[in-house]
Chain A
Amino acid sequence: QSVLTQPPSASGAPGQRVSISCSGSSSNIGSNTVNWYQQLPGTAPKLLIYSNDQRPSGVPDRFSGSKSGTSASLAISGLHSEDEADYYCATWDDSLIAVVFGGGTKLTVL
């Protein structure tokens, strides 16, 4: 059971927009910024979004993040086939004194 809650799956057709939610509590998302990681099959996770809505250099602006209260969301617009991957939200938890991850969302591009 993950501390952060994500839907196990999401899907969309090429060119469409999809959104992935991440729900937490006051001790994690409510107190700290949220990060999103993309993991392609057989590879290490890659930082996609940090500090709720910041994109590292090289990440396309098709990817965007937001946070409100104890929830966060990742949006991907103009879906590409290469966006098919697992997506994880994560943040720091002040009560656990630990990094906590969501269970991951498998994105399928139809």
Chain B
Amino acid sequence: QVQLQQWGAGLLKPSETLSLACAVHGGSFSGHNWNWIRQSPGKGLDWIGEINHSGATNYNPSLTSRVTISVDTAKSQFSLKLSSVTAADTAVYFCARGNYFDSSGFYYPTMYYLDYWGQGTLVTVTS
């Protein structure tokens, strides 16, 4: 069974850097992409970005100047840093596994889904 366990600081001041980490237990780490998603209070889901085991990243165009996602394959962990936070960055942050494979193990490049999620971390930005 795959489990994602995330942690990080939950209270930040404006202009500080948000830092979260997510550890993957079970399953293949190198065979998947690893994502961060956030949800502002009372709002919908907002994709932040992803990384693969080689370190290749894709970021939400609206956040790309402030976001860094990194990976540590030796520890099966990946991390999120978001710089210069403001109150607008207050949200629950989730990590999630991205999958291109169907139930039979076949790879489809046009099929990408987030099948396992972390428990979420509330990050509040306030002065």
List chain A positions with a Cβ less than 8 A from chain B: 2, 31-33, 35, 37, 39, 44-47, 50-51, 54, 56-57, 88, 90-92, 96-104
Q: Does B44 contact A92, Cβ atoms closer than 8 Å?
A: no
Q: Give a binary string over B100-124; 1 marks a CB under 8 Å from any A CB, 0 the rest.
A: 0011000010111111011110000
Q: State which size class the interface on B falls in.
A: 20 to 34
Chain A residue with minimal CB distance to B112? A92
A50 CB to nearest chain B CB (Å): 4
Q: Does A33 contact B58, Cβ atoms closer than 8 Å?
A: no
> B-side binding surface: helix, strand, loop or mixed?
strand
> A-side binding surface: helix, strand, loop or mixed?
strand
Q: Does A50 contact B111, Cβ atoms closer than 8 Å?
A: yes
Q: Which residues of B contact A88 (CB under 8 A)?
A: 44-45
A52 CB to nearest chain B CB (Å): 9
Q: Give 7 A-B contacts (CB < 8 Å), ordered by A residue.
A: A32-B112, A44-B117, A45-B37, A45-B45, A45-B114, A50-B111, A56-B115
Q: Which residues of B contact A101 (CB under 8 A)?
A: 44-47
State whether A37 and B111 are in contact (beta carbons under 8 Å apart), knowing that A44-B119, A98-B58, A99-B50 are contacts in the complex: no
Q: Does A98 contact B102, Cβ atoms closer than 8 Å?
A: no
Q: Does A98 contact B110, Cβ atoms closer than 8 Å?
A: no
Q: Which residues of A contact B110 (CB under 8 A)?
A: 31-33, 92
Kindly identify, within residues 13 to 58 of chain B, every residue whose CB is under 8 Å from any CB belonging to chain A.
Answer: 35, 37, 44-47, 50, 58
Chain A residue with minimal CB distance to B35? A99
